[in-house]
Structure 1
Amino acid sequence: MTNTIEARSQAGTAPQDRHGIRGVVARHPLGSFFTLALGLSWLAWVPYILSPHGMGVWDIHFAEVLGSAQFTGVLPGALLGPLGGAFIVTAVADGRPGLRRWVGRLFRWRVAWYWYALALVVVPALIIVSALPFAGGDVHAPTALVFAAVVPGLVIQLFSTGLSEEPGWRDFALPRLQHRFGGLGAAAILGPVWALWHMPLYLSDWGGWPNAHWSEPVVFALFTITFNVLMVQVFNKTGESLPLALLLHVGVNNTISTFFPTMYPSMTAGTLMIGLTIMSTITAVVLLVVTRGRLGYDPARRALPIDAPIPSAKPLVGSQHGTR
């Protein structure tokens, strides 16, 4: 089958006619994006990792925001990597039409209500339930203050974690990966890369340094890889809705940060990740079996240009999603 990923007639100069770095980026957008996403983030995180918030070899301090230095030490690197990398590569490879398609997914919020219920109710409930077998009986009911913090916490997560990562992983990389490798292949590549991107943070307080056990990043990586399968399924079945991908992603973070300190006060981060990983692994296996590895992606689309309109035969989304 002819690979049509690099055919960008709408993007201006053909990739094969470009020279230098711009030509490399235009001919290899996925490789360029992954290089920038990991490289820019890791480089930006070096001061935080070496600071007293990490390995403690560099006497540099980061201002605390909302009781955490991670907003000033970790978030800039996250913004530079997936978000910055996706913007740069899209601008070079696809030009303004590509940027319009890239940004356009951010406004595909008109999807069926049950997808919002999945992201905002079902998945958070499963996350809470996943920790019950590992709580050792130390379980408490959430307080009114906890419920009051859910929406503010979700908003903060959306504009920090969500918008720093999802425009890169799901908006930029996933459509290209699926166009080349299909749903299963895309999930098999994107999940490990997404997990690898987080790994340097285990040398900082983000990952519990220096007290975290060596197995914790391994368990986290397995969770990320398996949870990515659900992310791929939801992204495809909602007509590539980035708002749903954002909510699904940050819903995990927000549920843990708001509910777990009160409900499971004695549970460690490593223990809660075990429950999450078991739950996400079961979910991933079920989805792969039920969808036969397609994960909501129509293999016939691989024969079309990557910027071809999404088929609207199935009224699952309830939105105007014919233009990308």
Structure 2
Amino acid sequence: MTRFFVLLFALSLPFWIAGSVFRGPGLLPMDMPVSAFQFVLPLVVAMVCSRRDEGVRGVATLLRRLFSVPRRGQRAWWVPVVLLVPATMLLSYGLIALAGVPLDGPRESLATVPVLFAVYAVAAACEETGWMGYVLRPLQRRWGVLGGAVVLGVVWAVWHVVGYVQGGRAAWWIVGQCLSTVALRVLMVWLFHRTGQAVLPAVVIHALINVAESVFPGYPQRPVAALAFGLVTAAAATMVTLVWGARTSPGSYGKAHLRRRRPR
């Protein structure tokens, strides 16, 4: 676990340096900096660690885990998986509108959503192979289900901060974005266990997050948008934790439930 995070941040340094040297406004969605290509690193680091842990067999198991899906009795959970991000983003939009704040600014056309989803799904698959496919289990064995989710959410948020700064995001925008990042990871981990520890639903949620932020008017430029999204997702994560606390609190899953499973 520690090895994963140390290697991840060490390998991120060249991407952050490149992002500070090369500017590419308009070339990537939401004016992302060059350092955004660090999305490949969770996959790379997870493969390196799996190779060290279990050899080639470990790498093959990791890659198969990426395509794990909910079993027949768990497929109804695809509904909240697909609706989570659109619902929370629409609530955020509504809160901003009720506050009388103008909702304008550049955004991607709705016609580009299929292409955006395909592009973001590739990036999400690389990240979630590392986050959910590899490092989540040892985190939860140490800190429990909820504790592991929060720790992973914080690392996920911190890992993106350099890119946010390089992308010219305002300080309050970063605060709101980090809040939503941690809250969404808690929700993703909750759904991860509801879907039988399937990784593919997490990939879908991750891709939808980026799609929603791309089509939200002025999302990268408006701190109020990120703050509203952060508050709404934090409220959703809190509600899930309180209502299903017996299932999502630290220690609520036994060791057998949290141990590595052979992917379906």
Do Structure 1 and Structure 2 share a fold, with TM-score over 0.5? yes
- Provide the residue aligned with 1:50 in structure 2: 21
* SS across alignment from 1:131: helix
Alpha-carbon deviation of 1:158? 0.3
Q: Contact 2:179 / 2:231 at 8 angstroms: preserved in 1?
A: no
Spell out, residue by residue over 1:193-235, the C-alpha distance to the aligned partner (whole angstroms, 9 max, x if none): 1111011113312xxx2xx432332222222111111011011
1:36 to 2:7 alignment? yes
Quote the Cα distance in structure 1 between the aligned partners of 2:151 and 2:258. 21
2:172 to 215, 220, 232: 215
Q: Which consecutive unaligned segments of at least 5 residues does structure 2 have?
A: none
Measure the CA separation in 2 of the matches of 1:92 and 1:266.
41
Which AA in structure 1 matches 2:8? Answer: A
Instruction: Give the number of equivalent residue pairs.
Output: 257
Deviations 1:38-96 (A, max 9, x none): 22123322121233x3xxxxxxxx5965677748x2343221x2111111111101223
Q: How does 1:56-67 map to 2 (within 5 A)?
A: 65=27
Instruction: Establish whether residue 82 from structure 1 lines up as the match of residue 82 from structure 2.
Output: no
Corresponding residue for residue 198 of structure 1: 160
User: What residue is the counterpart of 1:289 in the other structure?
Assistant: 242
* CA shift in 2, pair 1:69/1:221, >3 Å: closer
Residue 9 of structure 1 corresponds to which residue in structure 2?
none
The Cα of 1:156 is off from its aligned counterpart by: 1.0
| Equivalent in the alignment of 2:190 | 233
Q: Does 1:187 pair with 2:149?
A: yes
Which residue in 2 is equivalent to 1:150? 113
Which has the bigger relative contact order, CA under 8 A and spacing at least 6?
Answer: 2
Match of 1:224 among 181, 184, 190: 181
Question: Which deviations, in whole Å up to 9, do the C-alpha atoms of 1:261-311 show, x marking residues without a partner?
Answer: 3xxx5994311111111111111111211222642888453268833x4xx
User: What is the identity, as a one-letter code, of the residue corresponding to 1:44?
Assistant: F
Q: Does 1:121 pair with 2:83?
A: yes
**C-alpha displacement at 1:256, in angstroms?**
1.8
Counterparts of 1:41 and 1:213 in 2: how far apart (Å)? 22
Question: Is 1:42–1:200's contact at 8 Å kept on the other side of the alignment?
Answer: no
Q: Classify 1:151/1:297 alpha carbon distance in 2 versus 1 (closer, same or farther; 3 Å).
A: farther
SS of 1:241's equivalent in the other structure is coil
Provide the secondary structure at the position in 2 that maps to 1:74.
helix
**RMSD of equivalent CA atoms:** 3.0
Compared CA separation, residues 290 and 68, structure 1 to 2 (3 A) = closer
- Contact 1:220/1:273 (8 A) holds in 2: yes
Work out the CA distance in 1 between the residues paired with 2:101 and 2:166: 30
CA contact (8 A) 2:157 2:181 kept: yes
Residue 278 (str. 1) matches residue 231 (str. 2): yes
Q: 1:297 to 1:242 in 2, by over 3 A?
A: farther
Q: Report what 2:64 is aligned to.
A: 104
State the TM-score, normalized to the length of structure 2.
0.84
Specify which structure has the higher proportion of helix: 2
Contact kept, 8 Å, 1:227 with 1:280, in 2: the verdict is yes
- Give 1:169 deviation, angstroms: 1.2
Cα distance in structure 2, aligned partners of 1:77 and 1:64: 18
Query: Identity, % of aligned pairs?
Result: 25
Distance in structure 2 (CA, Å) of the matches to 1:152 and 1:187: 30
Distance apart, 1:107 and its partner CA: 1.7
Q: Secondary structure at the match of 1:88?
A: helix
Question: Given residue 198 of structure 1, which amino acid in structure 2 is its aligned partner?
Answer: H
What amino acid is aligned across from residue 89 of structure 1 in structure 2? Answer: C
For structure 1, the residue ranges without an aligned partner over 5 or more in a row are: 1-29, 54-61, 310-321
In structure 2, C-alpha distance between the alignment counterparts of 1:305 and 1:110, rounded to whole Å:
16
SS at match of 1:195: helix
Structure 1 segments of 4+ aligned residues over 6 angstroms from their partners: none
User: What is the match of residue 3 of structure 1?
Assistant: none
Highest CA radius of gyration, 1 or 2?
A: 1
Report the Cα offset of residue 128 of structure 1: 2.0
